[in-house]
Structure 1
Amino acid sequence: MVSSFHVDARALALVGSHATCETEHVPETRRRVVAVVGPTAAGKTALSVALCQRIGGEVVNGDAVQLFRGMDIGSAKAEPAERAGVPHHLLDVLDVTQEANVAEFQRDARAAIDAVRSRGATPVLVGGSSLYVRAVLDPLDFPGTDPAVRARWSAELESRGPEALHAVLEERDPQAAAQILPSNGRRIVRALEVVELTGRPFTAAMPGYRSVYDDLVMIGLSVPRDVLDARIEKRVAQMWADGFVEEVRTLRAQGLERSMTASRALGYQQVLAYLRGEIGEHEAIAQTTAGTRKFARRQERMFRKDPRISWLDVDDHALVERAVALASSA
């Protein structure tokens, strides 16, 4: 398989010019690693860009869907203007026919962080998936794979569906099942493969909350549930208004359905079902909204377990100042 997260000159190229905002004099943060985390629609993109402008940072993407070229509207990928001249890395590095692989992402995200630090800048990892964020920051080791075992479970997924396989996973590894959405067939297959190959739970390799970086600062965005629900509903409506269906139609013509990773992404999965005539458009919108709300709750639940995260109120008028202070603290 072609490397899913190959980092080349294009992947590490700067997006736009450096921001014109004057950078604060915080030399002690230059080689620090900062992570901005939280649920979807919390405002991580805006905060990370403002933070980078203030501390001389560069964004390293930690969102699996934003790795794919063309998956822009559904992933809320920041447009060039929204990036405000701040360099962004690991955006648009995969075709939609490829598969995202967390082990390869770990390697390439760490390489991007090293490259940013070598320039004397501060890498700011931005993501909403606890697994992807921890894969970069923590000493996670990912078990190998067996094509025959993977193919067998993949065939089971096709014939029985993700919910049925999720029930199997609940029997074999309840903790893993609690952390994986019943609709996420790819991760369910991977968990069952690991359990079969290692004889141990899929989550057994998860270490305690310790980082491979000694100078890590983690900032979490806290949003009241009712506010977050309203934001998600507004975001989904805006996705449709911005041409989300046409985006998916175009990507489908490019082979979107051949990638289990890309085709299963929230929103994309629902629009594909609509385009195949399996559900109506209103149902696709409703399923996307409900699925995103459920996913956001799971994101926050997973991140709240991490004692390293300093949580900031998204509605705090001094949000950026507080984030800068955390990133600049000794």
Structure 2
Amino acid sequence: MAGEVWETCAVKTPTPTPRVIAVVGPTAAGKSDLGVALAQQLGGEVINADSMQLYQGMDIGTAKLSPAERRGVPHHLLDVWDVTVAASVAEYQRLAREEIDRLLARDRTPVLVGGSGLYVRGAIDVMEFPGTDPAVRTRLEGELAERGSGWLHGRLAHADPAAAHAILPSNGRRVVRALEVIEITGRPFTANLPGHESMYPTLQIGVDVGRPELHRRIADRVDGMWAAGLVDEVRELEAAGLREGRTASRALGYQQVLTALAGDCTEDEARAETIRATKRFARRQDSWFRRDPRVHWLSGAAADRAELTDRALTLLERAVTA
């Protein structure tokens, strides 16, 4: 993809050398493996930017790399929250920037890896999060429980069509947050999203996989999760309070298995729905990152992981010498 590695001001200034690498793209594209390989080559460490990998015990269903798969590369911001804790992008931002600053101070390269677009932007871009209003939040959550997420999503579509397009109607938690921000700020939710102004000189690398191949990988990954014991993992987390977790209980795979454990569908139906939902999610991830002109896309279809790593390193070399 043509263009600068990061945005510059209207007055032409020297392009800063990248100090942070971000590996982004849809689920199952191969981001984790590339992140590890780049960290090995650059003397770096990985910072997780997958919102669900922040949860303790959610290993199989989030495709969290095992210690062996990390190949000796330190990984940060995994297993941070209990499954009962509601996710907070603002809290993640604080934690991620602490890790980035700590690694930069030690001359280590932070390699941010993940497909949670808002988390990536929160870590590396100039971005402030609106506060919360407990009274507004409680009222909206009451309406969510009474009327359902689809009804609230209709309200959001009227108030902020762009936000409604970006948020799934089934994601009640995010719909509530968007409506809360609109009410307390008097501005559209999307008006509070960041521009393309970086906190750190960053090279963003998108891993691009054609849709048929990506869909095949997603189906294989979900089948592998079931074979690896996802149902048992969810059953153990259910005993630890997973159903009470407003965020974790809605994670792909976990939500579907919880439905099966409640007797509302079969395990085969839950697996099939997980595949369908993950494909939909991957399309939205891809759309999110495609809107950022700073992302440089590399084909992740190549079977040779070393080739993909070499192409990413070439991108970095060009950015350094630009």
Query: What is the TM-score with the length of structure 2 in the denominator?
Result: 0.91
1:294 correspondence with 2:280: yes
Which of 95, 120, 136 is residue 123 of structure 2 equivalent to? 136
Which of 166, 177, 180 is residue 193 of structure 1 equivalent to? 180
Q: Is contact 1:218–1:309 with CA below 8 Å preserved after alignment?
A: yes
- How do 1:47-58 and structure 2 match up within 5 A? 47-58=34-45
1:90 correspondence with 2:77: yes
- In 2, the alpha carbon distance for the partners of 1:104 and 1:319 equals 33
- In 1, the alpha carbon distance for the partners of 2:79 and 2:170 equals 25
Q: Counterpart of 1:202 in structure 2: which amino acid?
A: F
- In 1, the alpha carbon distance for the partners of 2:56 and 2:194 equals 32
Q: Is contact 1:37–1:126 with CA below 8 Å preserved after alignment?
A: yes
- How do 1:60-99 and structure 2 match up within 5 A? 60-99=47-86
- In 2, the alpha carbon distance for the partners of 1:231 and 1:152 equals 41
Match of 2:261 in 1: 275
Task: Please state whether the residue corresponding to 2:69 is helix, strand or coil.
Answer: helix
- In 1, the alpha carbon distance for the partners of 2:62 and 2:229 equals 13
Match of 1:217 in 2: 203
CA shift for structure 1 position 149: 0.7
Which of 299, 313, 318 is residue 324 of structure 1 equivalent to? 313
CA shift for structure 1 position 100: 1.1
CA shift for structure 1 position 300: 0.4
Cα deviations by residue, 1:8-46 (Å, 9 ceiling, x for unpaired): xxxxxxxxxxxxxxxxxxxx97x7100000000000011
- In 1, the alpha carbon distance for the partners of 2:235 and 2:301 equals 36
- In 1, the alpha carbon distance for the partners of 2:295 and 2:116 equals 14
Q: Is contact 1:34–1:122 with CA below 8 Å preserved after alignment?
A: yes
1:254 correspondence with 2:243: no
Q: Counterpart of 2:68 in structure 1: which amino acid?
A: A
Report which structure shows greater RCO (CA 8 Å, sep ≥6): 2
- In 2, the alpha carbon distance for the partners of 1:44 and 1:289 equals 19
- In 2, the alpha carbon distance for the partners of 1:264 and 1:155 equals 18
Match of 1:22 in 2: none
Q: Counterpart of 2:22 in structure 1: which amino acid?
A: A
Which of 124, 134, 140 is residue 153 of structure 1 equivalent to? 140
Task: Please state whether the residue corresponding to 1:260 is helix, strand or coil.
Answer: coil
CA shift for structure 1 position 186: 0.9
> Between Structure 1 and Structure 2, how many residues are aligned?
301
Q: Is contact 2:210–2:301 with CA below 8 Å preserved after alignment?
A: no
Identity of aligned residues (%): 59
- In 2, the alpha carbon distance for the partners of 1:207 and 1:142 equals 9
Which of 192, 198, 213 is residue 227 of structure 1 equivalent to? 213
Q: Counterpart of 2:124 in structure 1: which amino acid?
A: L
Query: What is the TM-score with the length of structure 1 in the denominator?
Result: 0.89
CA shift for structure 1 position 297: 0.5
Q: Is contact 1:55–1:324 with CA below 8 Å preserved after alignment?
A: no
Match of 1:175 in 2: 162
Higher mean displacement: 317-326 or 40-49:
317-326
Q: Is contact 2:32–2:114 with CA below 8 Å preserved after alignment?
A: no
Q: Is contact 2:89–2:122 with CA below 8 Å preserved after alignment?
A: yes
Match of 1:110 in 2: 97
CA shift for structure 1 position 179: 0.8
Q: Root-mean-square deviation (CA), in Å?
A: 1.3
Cα deviations by residue, 1:34-85 (Å, 9 ceiling, x for unpaired): 0000000000011000111111110000011000000001100000000000
